[in-house]
Chains A and B, each alone.
Chain A
Amino acid sequence: MNCEVCQLKELEVESFEIREVLRCILHTIVFHRALGLIRPKDIDLELFEITYVQCGEIEVEKKIDEKIEQFINWIEKHPNKKSQICLSFYEVKSKQPSWFTNKIERLYWEQWYINLNVLQPAKPPVGKSHHSKLVMDPGEASEERSSRRTLLEQSLQEVLFQIIKFVNEKKDHVPPINDGVIYCPFEITIPSSSDSAFGMDMFKRILHSGHPSMLG
């Protein structure tokens, strides 16, 4: 089974917009992979005029919110950084226990990479002298902010269209629907404190999957 990878368009967000943007994207993806009996839930974003759909499962909501909180905490420690969040869907395969492998193997069949460029709000200069050119006019600042917000809203919509298009075009790799399973098991990987830990996560995933395409 192939592991399909989708790189979503990069979004420039401010720190207070992260939660809404990530919720929107992650839930939209999971909704398309929640193939069990669900009752969809429409959610309006508060910062944008966009409505997205949730699958309505509380566990999914909780899992996503937890990861978003972790990501926000990480962002606070690593400001002004481009970051990537990986949403991976996998199948659980039972395997014969051996010395080097676990009993349960995860076979990743789809990965989504959400690219965010978190912007920090420009702080006023601290010092005795205040240059006029450094101090922005409040009107200009609000205009710039609103234009940036409009652009972000359009970009977010494009990302959602991108998700729908990808989901439509590639369906063969989706594993069969199991009875009683509401949504395909997934995991969300966020950048960790150290790059080595992030690398370890990737290495673990490779070991679990054991698929040659993951090594490429």
Chain B
Amino acid sequence: MDFPENLPSDIGRLEQIVSHFFPKALHIVLNSRIPSLQSRGRSRERLSGLNVRKSDKWFNLVMGDRPAALEKLHSWHRNILDSMIIDIILVHPISTDDLDVDDDHHGDSTVRSAETVIERWVVQYENPLIMSPQSSESATGYQKVYKKSIILLRSLYAQTRLLPAYRVSRQLSSSLASSGYDLIYKVSSFSDIFSGPVTETMKEFRFAPVKVPPGRLCASVTYRSDLSDFNLGAHITLPPRIITDYVGSPATDPMRFFPSPGKSIEATSFIGRAGRPPLTGSSAERPHSWTSGFHRPPAQYPTPNQSFSPAHSHQFSPGLHDFHWSRTDAFGDNHQLSPPFSPSGSPSTPRYISGGNSPRINVRPGTAPVTIPSSATFNRYVSSNFSEPGRNPLPPFSPKSARRSPSSQDSLPGIALYRSSRSGESPSGLMNQYPAQKLSKDSKYDSGRFSGVLSSSDSPRFGFSRSPSRLSSQDDLDDPDCSCPFDFDDVDESGLQYSQSLDRRKTSSSISQSLPLGRRSSQDAAVGVLVHMLKTAPPLRQDSSTYMASMSGVQREGSVSGTESEFSMARSTSDALEELRNYKQLKDLLLSKSKSGSGATRVH
């Protein structure tokens, strides 16, 4: 058991348990009754054992920092034999009509304040027995005593939440305007006896005492069970209740629409939690916050001049949102707002619906919000791509493309670059021309989606920013008319895959000359090569004359290829031999096919 402090004697520990019990009980009671004394800055992260103060660890109940007022009270209550009586007093207005006729303001009806004790908590260490040497019992007893005092404080904590004064405290703390009501406290060692009529309306609850040798710790509460006499509900102005998951949660019915701002809304549709089962779809007509792009309001309602982002579905009103968080700050984290304190529900329209207070929230119909990197990150990415020419962190382009007009002023200047290269102009020349224009466009639109950079090499380089719209940008860039620079390395490799049966040098050179950009370019190049191959291949149906002609043509091709192979041999003998081998294979294949097709025709 983690005892906060180590003391040489068990009697000292028992004394410490008692002495710390009083301020802890006081803290629990006042924290739940007096809003001004509630602990601030409580967060779940603070319960790490390292950030919790030693004084807060007592009885394993972390309450947060003790307010200064409580510290003073603790310092005042030094003698553990003194009782601690905590009176929770309700300050409420009364009309002078109710006062005695001898009042000076006779006949003049004014509102005055009166104080009524609605709760009295009594904590005391009572009937200490004569000190007797019970060392053996106390030696092992302080752990049990500590455990039982922990349980006692747990039940005291839970009890404070169940009594009627807790509701009053919550009402007053959440009240927007001064209502003339207030909760104050008084801590003393002795108390006035309640009058007869008062005791009739009050109940008492006694907690089971904890034996702390030589005496015992006792706690009790006397409270008013009925506070309706004070008419709190009629005088306290409560803010509209924020139902955070009513609109924004996917668990609720998505098929709801916001009516026009001018249309009145029945409050019952928003106070369903107080006394109704879960609402059905027909009970309210509000658009869901995250379905704005897919569910248009019905025809009878004009399209509201508002838009909202699904990312901020819970934040309809900044003011109300702040209010929500202030409440959680006061009462603890993840604090769910309670139903309306008036059980029948307030008929007031929720403020975030009314036109005057309706916030402007941006919507992008039909699309999810797109994260657009800032210009700083854009520039950083641009520079990184420029410095690493060989780097291509992105997958190859998809075959689909979205064709855009060169004049379309969108945030995709790279498409214009790609498209203009397809028009037949020299890509390198175009690349050289475009960077300035593209970068200026980027700065203009600040899309941040592309970072098209020219490398110092002949092969232009292109890189994508890693954004959610990356796929769309890839699709856009697959447009053959896009002339933005991109990474050639992948294109070269993919283009060669389509030309295994051809002269690889020719293929690569053809690709590099005709279509320098994109996989689409390499595919077109491969098609062109194949067409060329088919044109130069010997015909399937051959007679002797044509055969000789084709043979001569083949020979010529072969000689050409031989020349070229000789030429290539100058560069790489293995490459040339491989080309020749491939050509022979293709030739044999074609001839075998023609042989099977012609039948009697004999082919070499």
On chain A, the residues within 8 Å of B44 by CB distance are: 39, 56
Contact B337 A44 (CB under 8 A): yes
Contact A38 B62 (CB under 8 A): yes
| Cβ contacts A7-42/B at 8 Å (1 or 0 each) | 000000010100000000000100110111111111
Q: Which residue of B lies closest to A163 (CB)?
A: B158
Q: Does B350 contact A (CB under 8 A)?
A: no
Given B150, B332, B341, which contacts A49 in the complex, CB threshold below 8 Å?
A: B341
Q: With A37-B52, A38-B60, A168-B208 in contact, is A176–B159 under 8 Å at CB?
A: no
Given A34, A43, A50, which contacts B336 in the complex, CB threshold below 8 Å?
A: A43
On chain B, the residues within 8 Å of A48 by CB distance are: 339
On chain A, the residues within 8 Å of B151 by CB distance are: 32, 35, 167-168, 171, 174
8 A Cβ contacts from A56-91 to B: 56
CB-based closest 7 A-B pairs? A44-B338, A168-B208, A39-B62, A51-B161, A46-B273, A37-B60, A39-B47
Q: With A37-B49, A39-B42 in contact, is A47–B158 under 8 Å at CB?
A: no
On chain A, the residues within 8 Å of B61 by CB distance are: 38, 40
Q: Does A177 contact B (CB under 8 A)?
A: yes
Contact B147 A176 (CB under 8 A): yes
Contact A16 B277 (CB under 8 A): yes
A contact residues vs B (CB 8 Å cutoff): 14, 16, 28, 31-32, 34-53, 56, 145-146, 149-150, 157, 160-161, 164, 167-169, 171, 174, 176-179
Contact B208 A42 (CB under 8 A): no
Instruction: Show 6 A/B contacts (Cβ-Cβ < 8 Å), sorted by A.
Output: A41-B333, A45-B338, A145-B275, A161-B162, A174-B147, A179-B2
Q: With A145-B275, A149-B275, A169-B208 in contact, is A179–B155 under 8 Å at CB?
A: no
Contact A179 B1 (CB under 8 A): yes
Given B42, B60, B331, which contacts A35 in the complex, CB threshold below 8 Å?
A: B60
Alpha-carbon gap, A81 to B462, bound state (A): 69
Q: How many residues of B are in contact with the other chain, CB < 8 A?
A: 48
Q: With A42-B331, A171-B148, A171-B208 in contact, is A49–B339 under 8 Å at CB?
A: yes
8 A Cβ contacts from B311-361 to A: 331-339, 341, 343
| Cβ contacts B151-168/A at 8 Å (1 or 0 each) | 110110111011000110
Given A35, A41, A47, which contacts B332 in the complex, CB threshold below 8 Å?
A: A41
B contact residues vs A (CB 8 Å cutoff): 1-2, 42, 44, 46-47, 49, 52, 57, 60-62, 143-144, 147-148, 150-152, 154-155, 157-159, 161-162, 166-167, 205, 207-208, 210, 273-275, 277-278, 331-339, 341, 343
Q: With A35-B60, A37-B49, A51-B166 in contact, is A46–B155 under 8 Å at CB?
A: no
Contact B158 A160 (CB under 8 A): yes
On chain A, the residues within 8 Å of B159 by CB distance are: 164
Q: With A16-B277, A51-B166 in contact, is A31–B158 under 8 Å at CB?
A: yes
Shortest Cβ gap from B32 to chain A (Å):
9
Contact B154 A51 (CB under 8 A): no
Contact A167 B155 (CB under 8 A): yes
Alpha-carbon gap, A164 to B49, bound state (A): 28
Shortest Cβ gap from A120 to chain B (Å):
12
Contact B207 A36 (CB under 8 A): no
Shortest Cβ gap from A3 to chain B (Å):
17
Contact B273 A28 (CB under 8 A): no
On chain B, the residues within 8 Å of A28 by CB distance are: 158
Interface SS of A by simple majority:
mixed
On chain B, the residues within 8 Å of A177 by CB distance are: 1, 60, 143, 147, 150
Q: With A37-B2, A47-B339, A49-B167 in contact, is A168–B155 under 8 Å at CB?
A: yes
Q: Which residue of A lies closest to B243 (CB)?
A: A46
Contact B343 A49 (CB under 8 A): yes
Q: Which residue of A lies closest to B219 (CB)?
A: A168
On chain A, the residues within 8 Å of B338 by CB distance are: 44-46, 49, 51
Shortest Cβ gap from B204 to chain A (Å):
13
Contact B275 A44 (CB under 8 A): no
Given A16, A36, A52, which contacts B158 in the complex, CB threshold below 8 Å?
A: A52
Q: Which residue of A lies closest to B47 (CB)?
A: A39
On chain A, the residues within 8 Å of B1 by CB distance are: 176-179
Contact A44 B336 (CB under 8 A): yes
Contact A32 B155 (CB under 8 A): yes
On chain B, the residues within 8 Å of A164 by CB distance are: 155, 158-159, 162
Alpha-carbon gap, A161 to B205, bound state (A): 10
On chain A, the residues within 8 Å of B275 by CB distance are: 47, 145-146, 149
Shortest Cβ gap from A213 to chain B (Å):
22
Shortest Cβ gap from A23 to chain B (Å):
11
On chain B, the residues within 8 Å of A146 by CB distance are: 275
Contact A53 B57 (CB under 8 A): no
Alpha-carbon gap, A48 to B341, bound state (A): 10
- Extra contacts, 11 of them, besides A39-B46, A150-B343 (Cβ < 8 A), are A14-B277, A28-B158, A31-B154, A38-B62, A47-B273, A48-B339, A52-B158, A53-B161, A56-B44, A167-B154, A176-B144
Q: With A28-B158, A37-B49, A49-B167 in contact, is A42–B42 under 8 Å at CB?
A: no
Shortest Cβ gap from A101 to chain B (Å):
30
Q: With A39-B47, A41-B332, A46-B273 in contact, is A168–B42 under 8 Å at CB?
A: no
Alpha-carbon gap, A46 to B343, bound state (A): 11
Q: Which residue of A lies closest to B52 (CB)?
A: A37
Alpha-carbon gap, A164 to B207, bound state (A): 9
On chain B, the residues within 8 Å of A149 by CB distance are: 275
Alpha-carbon gap, A198 to B278, bound state (A): 32
Q: Which residue of A lies closest to B342 (CB)?
A: A49
Alpha-carbon gap, A32 to B161, bound state (A): 14
Contact A37 B47 (CB under 8 A): yes
Shortest Cβ gap from A90 to chain B (Å):
17
Contact B147 A35 (CB under 8 A): yes
Alpha-carbon gap, A174 to B210, bound state (A): 14
Alpha-carbon gap, A157 to B159, bound state (A): 11
Q: With A36-B60, A42-B332, A52-B158 in contact, is A168–B152 under 8 Å at CB?
A: yes
Alpha-carbon gap, A63 to B35, bound state (A): 33
A46, A160, A168: residue with the most chain B Cβ atoms closer than 10 Å: A168
On chain A, the residues within 8 Å of B2 by CB distance are: 37, 179
Contact B273 A42 (CB under 8 A): no
Given A41, A51, A157, A169, which contacts B334 in the complex, CB threshold below 8 Å?
A: A41
Shortest Cβ gap from A203 to chain B (Å):
32
Alpha-carbon gap, A44 to B338, bound state (A): 5
Contact A44 B335 (CB under 8 A): yes
On chain B, the residues within 8 Å of A161 by CB distance are: 162, 205
Contact B147 A37 (CB under 8 A): no
On chain B, the residues within 8 Å of A168 by CB distance are: 151-152, 155, 207-208
